[in-house]
Amino acid sequence: MKISVKLAALALTLTMAGCATHQSPTGRSQMLMHSEAEMAQLGQVSFEQLKQQEKVSRDPARIAYVNCIADRITGVLPAQQWEVVLFDSPQVNAFALPGGYIGVYTGMLNVAQNEDQLAAVMGHEVAHVLARHSNEKVSRSELTGTGLQILNIGLAAYGVESAGTITQLAALGTNVFFTLPYGREQETEADIMGVELMARAGFDPAASVDLWHNMAKASEGAPPEMLSTHPSHSTRINELTAQQQSAQQYYQAAKAMNWPTCSKQK
Ligand SMILES: [Zn+2]
């Protein structure tokens, strides 16, 4: 009885949402219930809200540093506009959102200690977007009925810019992007894709291993905020290490290109 009720609910949800099975970039099967446009809308509203809530950095040297790295990373992707903001906050955090938004907190610059390590962070974050992991997170949450009822609160009203809808979307975006953790398989996928991405942008992929060592070290005090949505797993560093040989091939090929130097300022 319980099962049939669940199935009926599932069927209803699927019908409503136009659910479809997709294949992720590394070949996993993904259940995605939302269009790219819906997720981009959610990303935009969340990013706008965050820019109002958080202090945005006015440090031109650091802004240039972060933008330099972001431009190289996104420059190896199919053309799309990416907005990059450096938030002036001690949080050890960074994120990328559907629709083309990248946020870095100044606290991250203490853990990602050079341009290659920060490129590892951004490559990982952008990979989450490319692999549509937020869509997958929210779709799973809806299918298991754990409370994120995206449909009920207004994405269907995409384009209707009433204040109430925007507020609800922003609250939903906070849940989806900044509270709900990524799954382990998503973390592995973002690592695999992110390391390739940074290497293709001319950053040394070996820095991805250094970055996660630094992140582990930083966890000995108060855990970095980034780890609340990106649960670390003990095999991550081993997997990243195993990936270095292939990543170095991308890096060596990319190094021959004429990249702008992104140097960290004091
Ligand atoms: Zn992650």
Whether the predicted pLDDT of 4 surpasses 60:
no
CA 123 – ligand 1 centroid, Å: 10
- Rounded distance between C-alpha atoms, residue 19 and residue 68, angstroms: 38
Query: What pLDDT, in 10s, does the model give residues 230-244?
Result: 887 778 999 999 999
CA 168 – ligand 1 centroid, Å: 25
Whether the predicted pLDDT of 11 surpasses 80:
no
- Rounded distance between C-alpha atoms, residue 180 and residue 177, angstroms: 7
Query: What pLDDT, in 10s, does the model give residues 113-152?
Result: 999 999 999 999 999 999 999 999 988 887 776 555 554 4
- Rounded distance between C-alpha atoms, residue 46 and residue 68, angstroms: 24
Whether the predicted pLDDT of 8 surpasses 60:
no
Query: What pLDDT, in 10s, does the model give residues 204-240?
Result: 999 999 999 999 888 887 788 888 888 877 789 999 9
- Rounded distance between C-alpha atoms, residue 86 and residue 102, angstroms: 9
Whether the predicted pLDDT of 12 surpasses 50:
no
| pLDDT of the residue at 101 | 98
Based on the number of CB atoms within 10 Å of its own CB, is 189 exposed (0-12), middle (13-18) or buried (19 or more)?
Answer: buried
Look up residue 38 and give its amino acid: E
| pLDDT of the residue at 69 | 98
Query: What pLDDT, in 10s, does the model give residues 26-45?
Result: 999 998 888 898 899 899 99
- Rounded distance between C-alpha atoms, residue 96 and residue 111, angstroms: 18
Q: Domain ranges in the chain?
A: 18-255
Whether the predicted pLDDT of 94 surpasses 60:
yes
Q: Which two tokens stand for residue 173?
A: 């975006």
- Rounded distance between C-alpha atoms, residue 216 and residue 207, angstroms: 14
CA 182 – ligand 1 centroid, Å: 6
Long-range Cβ contact pairs of 185-189 (< 8 A, separation 24 or more): 185/28, 186/128, 186/131, 186/133, 186/136, 186/137, 187/230, 187/231, 187/232, 187/233, 187/236, 188/236, 188/239, 189/24, 189/25, 189/26, 189/28, 189/127, 189/131, 189/133
Beta bridge partners, 97, equal 101
- CA 15 from chain centre, in angstroms, equals 28
Mind telling me the catalytic residues? 125
Q: Which two tokens stand for residue 238?
A: 């081993």
Distances (CA, A) of 90 to 67, 86, 109, 207: 19, 12, 9, 22
Q: What is the mean pLDDT of residues 163-181?
A: 82
| pLDDT of the residue at 162 | 60
| pLDDT of the residue at 2 | 43
Q: How many residues does the chain have?
A: 266
CA 128 – ligand 1 centroid, Å: 7
CA 238 – ligand 1 centroid, Å: 16
